[in-house]
């Protein structure tokens, strides 16, 4: 007769001659257990054909070996770089990543924080886009560690989370460059104003006066938003001579549509974006962009989170800022001329 009794962690502990907590540490690759004991337990697990119950283990040791990553939209070309880096950092520490798309929606960002317990994760890396007022209070009240990837606005020093972001406003680098290459009628193309509003503020702050006709707010950060922005600017009696796009996907959409309309880039209109994603380098012309260090930011945000999970009594929170870098390409200036200057 086949023995149908379901094996338990207690059975493994009894066979190995150790305590249940020791088996849990071995199965979850925790410290505080010798290599010899761990090897013995894993051998018993294999011999018995024991399959760990992840949910039951998490209740016993209060850890799931999972973290969550909440991003605005995986379709945005910079997000896969960030997600990949978070996942690789997590794997190196024996963790898996549960990914959540908030769509840059304020309610979904808050819902992610509100539902953390149901996600069964040990920590959260979140990249806000909407920045609702309740975001910071809810992070402070979260029952697990939180790490923030911050590209949107200045966050409180009182926030109970590690924060990784930019040392300077990346939009300012775009505007400085466009002005330095002699463009004066500069337009802005972005998503709704309240989304990554600091990028629009950089546009306002760089000009003595903002011409409302040179500002286009689309629905999102997509290629299609860029095409719609190009149609709008083309319809003006006096077109802009440069366009600052909120991100590279919008910039690529603008360039794509302007070319269809017979507008030369950069001769008639210079176009620059932010993110420095891969697609900015495979378009014609290649897109001038600001690198926001997505891979590096994602990796460090995950490392800080995992460190705080491992050492929960650590005091103080990290505030790390990377330096954005302007990458000049063909969409804003003829490179042979730029090299001579």
CATH no. for residue 129?
A: 3.40.50.2300
Q: Indicate whether 222 and 298 sit together in one domain.
A: no
CA 187, 189, 195, 198 dihedral sign is: negative
Whether 189 and 250 have beta carbons less than 8 Å apart is answered as yes
pLDDT digits (tens, 9 = 90+) for 298-323: 999 999 999 999 888 888 899 999 99
Q: Indicate whether 82 and 47 sit together in one domain.
A: no
Mean pLDDT for the stretch of residues 166-173:
92
Residue 2: inside a domain: no
Q: Indicate whether 260 and 204 sit together in one domain.
A: yes
CA distance 108 to 87: 22
Q: Indicate whether 336 and 216 sit together in one domain.
A: yes
CA distance 114 to 173: 36
Q: In DSSP terms, which residues pair with 231 in a beta bridge?
A: none
Q: Could you give the angle at which helices 197-205 and 170-180 cross, rounded to 10 degrees?
A: 40
Q: In DSSP terms, which residues pair with 166 in a beta bridge?
A: 322
Q: Indicate whether 205 and 332 sit together in one domain.
A: yes
CATH no. for residue 35?
A: 1.10.260.40
Q: Indicate whether 198 and 278 sit together in one domain.
A: yes
Q: Indicate whether 239 and 176 sit together in one domain.
A: yes
Residue 261: inside a domain: yes
Q: Indicate whether 79 and 180 sit together in one domain.
A: no
Residue 3: inside a domain: no
Residue 97: inside a domain: yes
What is the percent of the chain with per-residue pLDDT over 70, rounded to a whole number?
Answer: 91
Backbone angles phi and psi of 300, in degrees to 5: -65, -40
DSSP states of 38-67: HHHHHHHHHHHT----HHHHHHHHS--SEE
3-state secondary structure of 72: coil
Strand order in the sheet with 270-275: 215-217, 186-190, 242-245, 270-275, 288-291, 325-327
CA distance 210 to 235: 19
Residue 4: inside a domain: no
Q: Indicate whether 53 and 142 sit together in one domain.
A: no
pLDDT digits (tens, 9 = 90+) for 28-82: 766 567 888 888 888 888 888 777 655 444 444 457 899 999 999 888 888 999 9
Q: Indicate whether 130 and 91 sit together in one domain.
A: yes
Q: Indicate whether 224 and 199 sit together in one domain.
A: yes
What is the percent of the chain with per-residue pLDDT over 90, rounded to a whole number?
Answer: 62
pLDDT digits (tens, 9 = 90+) for 238-281: 999 999 999 999 999 999 999 999 999 999 999 999 999 999 99
Residue 156: inside a domain: yes
E-assigned strands of 87-197?
Answer: 96-101, 124-126, 146-150, 162-166, 186-190
Q: Indicate whether 263 and 145 sit together in one domain.
A: no
Pairing of strands 162-166, 319-322: parallel
Query: Which range among 94-98, 140-144, 170-174 shows the weakest confidence by mean pLDDT?
Result: 140-144
Q: Which residue segment(s) compose the domain that 106 sits in?
A: 66-168+293-324
3-state secondary structure of 209: coil
CA distance 301 to 68: 12
* Domain count across the chain: 3
Whole-model pTM: value is 0.76
Residue 155: inside a domain: yes
Residue 1: inside a domain: no
């Amino acid at each position: 007769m086949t023995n149908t009794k379901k094996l338990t962690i207690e059975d493994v502990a009894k066979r190995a001659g150790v305590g249940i907590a020791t088996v849990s540490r071995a199965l979850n690759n925790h410290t505080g257990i010798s290599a010899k004991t761990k090897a013995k337990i894993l051998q018993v697990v294999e011999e018995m054909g024991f399959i760990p119950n992840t949910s039951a283990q998490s209740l016993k040791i209060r850890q799931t070996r999972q973290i969550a990553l909440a991003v605005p939209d995986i379709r945005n070309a910079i997000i896969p770089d960030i997600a990949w880096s978070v996942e690789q950092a997590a794997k190196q520490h024996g963790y898996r990543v549960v990914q959540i798309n908030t769509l840059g929606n304020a309610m979904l960002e808050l819902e992610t924080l509100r539902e953390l317990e149901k996600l069964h994760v040990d920590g959260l890396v979140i990249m806000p886009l909407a920045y609702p007022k309740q975001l910071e209070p809810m992070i402070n009240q979260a029952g697990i560690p939180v790490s923030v990837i911050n590209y949107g606005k200045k966050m409180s020093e009182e926030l109970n989370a590690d924060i990784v972001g930019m040392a300077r406003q990346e939009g300012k680098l775009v505007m400085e460059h466009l002005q330095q290459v002699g463009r004066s009628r500069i337009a802005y193309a972005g998503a709704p104003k309240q989304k990554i509003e600091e990028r629009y503020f950089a546009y306002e702050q760089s000009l003595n006066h903002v011409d409302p006709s040179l500002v286009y707010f689309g629905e999102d950060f997509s290629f299609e938003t860029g095409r719609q922005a190009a149609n709008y600017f083309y319809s003006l009696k006096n077109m802009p001579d440069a366009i600052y796009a909120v991100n590279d996907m919008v910039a690529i959409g603008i360039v794509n549509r302007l070319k269809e309309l017979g507008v030369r880039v950069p001769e008639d209109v210079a176009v620059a974006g932010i993110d420095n994603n891969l697609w900015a380098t495979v378009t014609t012309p290649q897109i001038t962009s600001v690198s926001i260090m997505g891979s590096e930011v994602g990796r460090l945000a995950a490392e800080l989170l995992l460190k705080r999970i491992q050492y929960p009594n650590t005091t103080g929170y990290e505030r790390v800022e990377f330096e954005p870098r302007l990458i000049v390409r063909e969409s804003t200036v003829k490179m042979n001329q730029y090299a001579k200057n």
